[in-house]
Amino acid sequence: RESGAGPWSDNNVTFTVVGDVNIDLAFQIPHLPPADGDVESKKYVVEFGGTALNTALHLKKLGTKVSLLACVGNDQWGDLVTAHAKKEALNVRFFQTKENTGVCIVMETSSNRHLVTYRGANAALERHLPDLLSHVIEGEWVHFSSTTPSFVVAALDILHKRGCVVSYDPGGIQVKNIDSEASDVLKDLDYLFLNNEEFRRLEKQRSIISPRRLVVKSGANGAKYFDAKVTLSVQPEHHVKGPSKGAGDAFDAAFIACMALFRDPTVCLRCAVTYATSYLLGGVEGEADFLGSCRGVDRE
């Protein structure tokens, strides 16, 4: 187990996160420029991102045993991502591809953020499905993050036959690729994570998505959980103004870690909202012990 595993010391659940890793080039700007216009950025940073990388790092900080499976390019960005994962002592299996490492341009104003994403090597992940499956241990929790629906569809039945729990957060780009065929298979998903916009999009398309459990993240309005028996809703205790970059990944990590530990959606929805809010407020002290404290969360 990871050091300081806290409540995980007697828990046998391990996690594998599959999905994208990026280099984020983040610019703070006063406003978006008009067409053919320009705007000056007063601050520019290079960050390590990608929803799969972010989620895996949060799971590790929460004290779980986690592995990351992803693709990087044979380039400088790929070398930097690999070095960062090593520095964070994250257990990774990077498949190196001829495509360049994924890049995300982030433009942040005081109230919003705007993203331009180049998938690059991330799009090559489907070619490595056999290798990926060879690294998954029977009974693991496998979380797909920003992968294509077809990739999850191809792996879902195999993983279920191995006794794995499977969750999926498609993200804003890949949710557009959920067609009727994928919808029919994804009903067997153990957990599907969407934000409000993604959920409304599927409703507008009248796509029939009926996973075993659905979690809808609503930003400042908290989150909702649906399964065949219950519908739950949780509001955050503190409201955070401004961009919410990375909060969705923090939420996913806290929710699945909590569910693997406690199997109580009421506790875990509150736990995930609290963790994501704390992340936006600057982080959680004693993250490895955070899940243990969730038992004391209000169960209203």
Domains, the chain, ranges and CATH?
8-21+50-101+119-294 (3.40.1190.20)
Intra-chain end-to-end CA distance of the chain, in Å? 33
d(CA 52, CA 143): 8
Which of 16, 17, 43 has its CA nearest to residue 30?
43
Task: Identify the DSSP state of 211.
Answer: -
- The pLDDT tens digits along the chain (300 residues) read 333 334 444 457 899 999 999 999 999 999 998 999 999 998 999 999 999 999 999 999 999 999 999 999 999 999 999 999 999 999 999 999 999 999 999 998 888 888 899 999 999 999 999 998 999 988 999 999 999 999 999 999 999 999 999 999 998 888 887 876 677 777 889 999 999 988 888 877 655 567 899 999 998 889 999 998 999 999 888 766 554 567 899 999 999 999 999 999 999 999 999 999 888 877 666 666 788 788 665 444
**CA count, 13 A, side-chain hemisphere, 174:** 24
Strand order in the sheet with 213-217: 91-97, 65-73, 14-19, 141-145, 165-169, 191-195, 213-217, 223-227, 231-234
How do 102-108 and 113-118 pair as beta strands? Answer: antiparallel
Q: How far are the Cα atoms of 19, 38, 47, 107, 155 from residue 112, in angstroms, in the given order?
A: 25, 18, 18, 8, 35
Number of Cα atoms under 13 Å in the Cβ half of residue 203: 8
Helices 247-262 & 265-280 angle (0-180, nearest 10): 150
pTM of the entire predicted model: 0.88
Output DSSP code: residue 125.
G
Contact 227, 260 (CB under 8 A): no
Phi-psi domain of 71 (left: phi exceeds 0; alpha: psi -120 through 50; beta: other)? beta
Please check whether residue 168 is in contact with residue 155, taking contact to mean a CB–CB distance below 8 angstroms: no
Token couple for 284: 């959680």
Categorise residue 178: left if φ over 0, alpha if ψ from -120 to 50, beta otherwise.
beta
d(CA 95, CA 131): 9
Do 269 and 223 contact (CB within 8 A), yes or no? yes
**What's the Cα-to-Cα distance from 38 to each of 27, 70, 273, rounded to whole Å?**
13, 35, 37
Report residue 37: phi and psi, to 5°.
Answer: -100, -175
- Radius of gyration from C-alpha coordinates of the chain: 19
Residues β-bridged to residue 46: 25
What tokens were used for 4? Answer: 């300081």
Kindly give the pairing relationship between strand 65-73 and strand 191-195: unpaired
pLDDT tens sequence across 204-247: 765 556 789 999 999 888 999 999 899 999 988 876 655 456 78
